[in-house]
């Protein structure tokens, strides 16, 4: 799946607010299994692209701490916001200080974490194979095998964190001013 089609689906899904992931998953069930796999590969590529020390530091400030899983959910949310927000945040994580306004936070009940985004494609694939969205071990194994067959490499990512908690106020002054004393989680 080309990046433009991936981002088009994300953009379309944003129209559904709190039902975004439900809509996206439902749309993916209408695609071929190959297209679902391609969507997931593109999603995983965005997860890898956003796996940076700089973005993790920003997430740490915004949420008042950020575990490995929390950073995955943060990146899932960031991807769900669309191509422009994703690219701006990668280029300069301080962008999020202006993006995460009070008005925005009142409208986006998921900010800044969206675990369900990580499961949209696998849930759609499972539904196609089993007729239900419930986790199915054999469908999940088949999904992962299909991703590998389409060239996705499951190598664990390595990251060198180039900050310590005490440096975050200086490194992210805009985010710190906005969330340092009142993080979102």
Percent share of the chain, pLDDT over 70: 99
Structure tokens at 67: 């575990």
* 121 Cβ contact list (under 8 Å, min separation 6): 28, 36, 37, 39, 40, 43, 143
Helix, strand, coil share (%) of the chain residues, nearest 5? 70, 0, 30
Place of tokens 């490499």: 153
Radius of gyration from C-alpha coordinates of the chain = 17
Q: What is the pLDDT of residues 103-151, one digit of tens each?
A: 888 888 788 999 999 999 999 999 999 999 999 999 999 999 999 998 8
CB 136 within 8 A of CB 130: yes
E strand segments, 30-153: none
pTM confidence score: 0.95
DSSP track, 106-118: HH-TTTT--GGGG
State yes or no: pLDDT of 170 exceeds 80: yes
CB 10 within 8 A of CB 79: yes
Question: What confidence tier does 78 reach under pLDDT thresholds 50, 70, 90?
Answer: very high
Structure tokens at 81: 């916001």
């Amino acid at each position: 799946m080309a990046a433009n089609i991936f981002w088009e689906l994300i953009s379309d899904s944003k129209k559904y607010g709190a039902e975004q992931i439900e809509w996206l998953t439902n749309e993916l069930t209408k695609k071929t299994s190959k297209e679902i796999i391609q969507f997931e590969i593109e999603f995983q590529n965005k997860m890898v692209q956003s796996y940076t020390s700089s973005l993790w530091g920003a997430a740490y400030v915004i949420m008042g701490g950020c575990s490995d899983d929390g950073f995955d959910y943060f990146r899932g949310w960031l991807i769900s916001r669309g191509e422009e927000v994703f690219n701006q945040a990668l280029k300069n994580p301080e962008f999020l200080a202006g993006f995460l306004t009070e008005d925005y936070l009142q409208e986006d009940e998921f900010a800044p974490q969206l675990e369900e985004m990580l499961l949209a494609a696998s849930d759609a694939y499972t539904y196609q194979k089993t007729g239900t969205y419930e986790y199915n071990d054999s469908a999940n194994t088949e999904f992962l095998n299909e991703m590998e067959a389409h060239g996705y490499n499951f190598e664990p990512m390595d990251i060198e964190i180039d900050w310590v908690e005490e440096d975050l106020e200086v490194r992210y002054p805009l985010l710190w001013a906005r969330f340092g004393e009142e993080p979102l989680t």
